[in-house]
Structure 1
Amino acid sequence: MNNTTIGVDLAKDVIQVCVFSQQKIISNTEMNVADFAIWLTQRKPSTIVFEACGTSNYWKQKATSLGHTVHLISAKLVNVVRQQQKNDKNDALAIVQASHLPNVKFIKGKTLEQQQLQSLIRIRDLAVKQKTAIKNQIKALLLELNIRVSTKNGGLNGTIQLVLEDAENGCAMYFRQAISTVWKTYLQLCQSVSKYDKVIERAIRKSPECKRLIQLEGVGPINAINLYLAIGCSDSMVFKQGKDVSACIGLTPVQHSSGGKTKLGKISKNIRNQMLRSQLVTGAFTFVNSIAKKEAKTEKERWLKNLIDRKGKKCASVALANKTVRTAFSMITKNTEYKVTPV
């Protein structure tokens, strides 16, 4: 049995490798990327622990394919364990020390497919933020000239065209050229977002897990991908129960228990993935709104309508998002399709 643990501190250009065996540090050396790749190939199968950061998923996949047992550990935990000043050697040693803590929870890595899906979501999110920022800037700049955007004059597009074509509004030629340029940039970003949406739809059709998740109430293409990324695939599952996933996303009450007394509070504001929770609750709220004034056709819709009557739409939306996450976990774990129960 190989009792060697290797702590690896990843950086952009250099990689620090700390080898721990037989209760002592064998080596703690710095390598470049090419040398580390060769070292991994020549090394006998060992337990390698990477600090979860950029490129850690790639190196986990690489080391796993070479027969090593690989874990990713939280950078926050490593920072707590490190005893001396921060440098690469102390970081690599702290990774080894943190990996030997009792009941330590390692971070699940992502497959190549999950990395590519995540990249699609990140690229689209950036385009949406840029589009929103430019739109708000155009409105603010026009408002400085007392030019207000309203639906009466054709919205933002109509207002821009009016500014460019009106020769008597006092706007200089250079100002018109600048407004025209920024407006074209905004239109290009709108087209980019539309193209990203089509790419995401094609990606979902090629992902069996996402195709099943999109059948859930209030789950669209983006929520399906984000749920798949949060839960993981069935052969690399870290969470043991669906409620653990809900707690990680922040859809369950915070527990304040002491002395054998259990006390549950509100859902926490400080969570790792606030965007995912926000998108899940928003999707759930859209579905809750759509069935509020309709007759319930399924058991879930009946449950939701009763909850709306007792607690209101907002509480029902959070409850539906919580149930959605647990159902998604069960579907991925058991490799099953989503089935509704008619009334």
Structure 2
Amino acid sequence: MKNTIVGVDLAKDVIQVCITKRNKVLSNKEMIPSEFSAWLATSNSATIVFEACSTANHWQQLAHSYGHDARQISAKLVANIRQNQKTDKNDALAVAQACSLPEVKFVSGKTFKQQELQSIVRIKELSVKHKVAVENQIRALLLEFGIRTPTKGSIVNVVELTLEDADNGFCDELRDSLAIAFNGYLDLVGAIKKYESALERVANSNADCRKLMALEGVGPMNAVNLYMLLSCGEMGTFRTGKDASACVGLTPIQHSTGGKAKLGSIGKHIRNHSMRSVLVSGAMAVCSQVKRRVPRTTKETWLKGLIERRGMRCAAVALANKTVRTAFSLLANDTEYKAIPVAS
């Protein structure tokens, strides 16, 4: 199957497989997952391109195990290439056509180990969202009865006192419902701590993550995120640290026309906003410390000057940008990070 390109459109129950060779469609048929797995095992080596989606990593790993050149391609690019109406056949054909574009950028996908790490991160993120939602609802419901909770503190003491107060007029049904919601909140808090402990153990046991945690503002969570991004190119194959930083959304949006380039903001709509959020949060913590004391390293000297000129938020984004670029260099060159102390 030399020079054969196979475009694959993945779905839960069926898989559309479009086989092309020298810009001609040989077949474009639907398979169930077991049929496609058997086809991968029995077919000669070919270039198989999957539209990046939730199951693409599994199929890419399986195709690699059978000797195929398996790749993933952006779903947005496929949508731009697709002709006529959106059907499985047209999608599979568009995947194969997109693969033939000059200088096309593929999504490298993840290894099995990286999928495990991503699953822990995603479970933790969902638990954090649920915890915030439950906490906000409890705060709002108590406020309707004139019971105020600390704006930035924990709601635990206030809710416990409310449940124990027999003179507040709450009926038994409301008291039981509030107790159930509160117990669910406590369960989420405990679960988040367990997820954070699991990520910390993973980061400490991984040599690359330990390198990354030497960077300013990088803890276990940021180290795992950077490891997943840079070690295999989660959002693309990066040639430079600048490409990786731009992919996370830490560089200004550029608009060029007529030989004139204009730089805007870093943009609100990016693919992985949660990664950017935790990176900037870590950088903000570093900025808060540097602002209150004398710089100890050359990077802190640069950072403090930037804080004085542009403010905390801009400095935090700039530090997060530098962190991603430095992390790329550390992993690409297999080096250790050493901060340069200020000359006395």
Q: Decide: shared fold, TM above 0.5.
A: yes
How many angstroms apart in 2 are the aligned matches of 1:322 and 1:163?
46
Aligned to 1:23: 23
- Structure 1 residue 164: Cα displacement: 2.1
- Structure 1 residue 180: Cα displacement: 1.2
Partner of 2:39, secondary structure, is helix
- Structure 1 residue 84: Cα displacement: 1.7
- Structure 1 residue 272: Cα displacement: 1.6
CA contact (8 A) 2:18 2:28 kept: yes
1:16-60 Cα deviation digits (max 9, x unpaired): 111101331111111111111111010000000000001100111
- Structure 1 residue 155: Cα displacement: 5.5
How many angstroms apart in 1 are the aligned matches of 2:171 and 2:23?
76
What residue identity is the alignment partner of 2:117?
L
Aligned to 2:308: 309
What residue identity is the alignment partner of 1:101?
L
Aligned to 2:7: 7
Partner of 2:264, secondary structure, is strand
Partner of 2:91, secondary structure, is helix
> How large is the Cα RMSD of the aligned pairs?
1.8
CA contact (8 A) 1:110 1:232 kept: no
How many angstroms apart in 2 are the aligned matches of 1:332 and 1:232?
7
CA contact (8 A) 1:231 1:237 kept: no
Of 157-166 and 324-333, deviating more is 157-166
1:171-206 Cα deviation digits (max 9, x unpaired): 111111111111111111111111111111111122
Go from structure 1 to structure 2 and tell me whether the alpha carbon gap of 1:335 and 1:237 turns closer, same or farther (over 3 Å shift): farther
1:323-343 Cα deviation digits (max 9, x unpaired): 101000001101111111111
Asked whether 1:218 is paired with 2:211, we answer no
Alignment TM-score, normalising by the size of structure 2? 0.94
- Structure 1 residue 7: Cα displacement: 0.6
CA contact (8 A) 2:6 2:17 kept: yes
Aligned to 2:268: 269
Aligned to 1:101: 101
How many angstroms apart in 2 are the aligned matches of 1:229 and 1:313?
28
CA contact (8 A) 2:15 2:36 kept: yes
How many angstroms apart in 2 are the aligned matches of 1:26 and 1:155?
63
- Structure 1 residue 143: Cα displacement: 1.5
Asked whether 1:176 is paired with 2:175, we answer yes
CA contact (8 A) 1:288 1:316 kept: yes
- Percent identity (aligned): 53
How many angstroms apart in 2 are the aligned matches of 1:308 and 1:143?
38
Partner of 1:223, secondary structure, is helix
- Structure 1 residue 10: Cα displacement: 0.7
Partner of 2:265, secondary structure, is strand
Go from structure 1 to structure 2 and tell me whether the alpha carbon gap of 1:117 and 1:184 turns closer, same or farther (over 3 Å shift): same
Asked whether 1:92 is paired with 2:71, we answer no
Partner of 2:6, secondary structure, is strand
What residue identity is the alignment partner of 1:63?
A
Aligned to 1:193: 192
Partner of 2:139, secondary structure, is helix
What residue identity is the alignment partner of 1:51?
E
How many angstroms apart in 1 are the aligned matches of 2:41 and 2:150?
64
Aligned to 1:248: 247
Aligned positions of 1:196-207 closer than 5 A: 196-207=195-206
- Structure 1 residue 168: Cα displacement: 2.1
- Structure 1 residue 150: Cα displacement: 4.0
Aligned to 2:291: 292
Asked whether 1:134 is paired with 2:143, we answer no
How many angstroms apart in 2 are the aligned matches of 1:155 and 1:295?
33
Partner of 1:257, secondary structure, is strand
What residue identity is the alignment partner of 2:120?
L
What residue identity is the alignment partner of 1:2?
K
What residue identity is the alignment partner of 1:64?
H
How many angstroms apart in 1 are the aligned matches of 2:184 and 2:102?
54
- Structure 1 residue 256: Cα displacement: 2.0
Unaligned segments of structure 2, at least 5 residues: none
Aligned to 2:73: 73
Alignment TM-score, normalising by the size of structure 1? 0.94
Go from structure 1 to structure 2 and tell me whether the alpha carbon gap of 1:252 and 1:302 turns closer, same or farther (over 3 Å shift): same
Partner of 2:62, secondary structure, is helix
Go from structure 1 to structure 2 and tell me whether the alpha carbon gap of 1:319 and 1:44 turns closer, same or farther (over 3 Å shift): same
Aligned to 2:124: 124
What residue identity is the alignment partner of 1:231?
L
1:220-242 Cα deviation digits (max 9, x unpaired): 111111112222349x9810011
Of 176-185 and 304-313, deviating more is 304-313
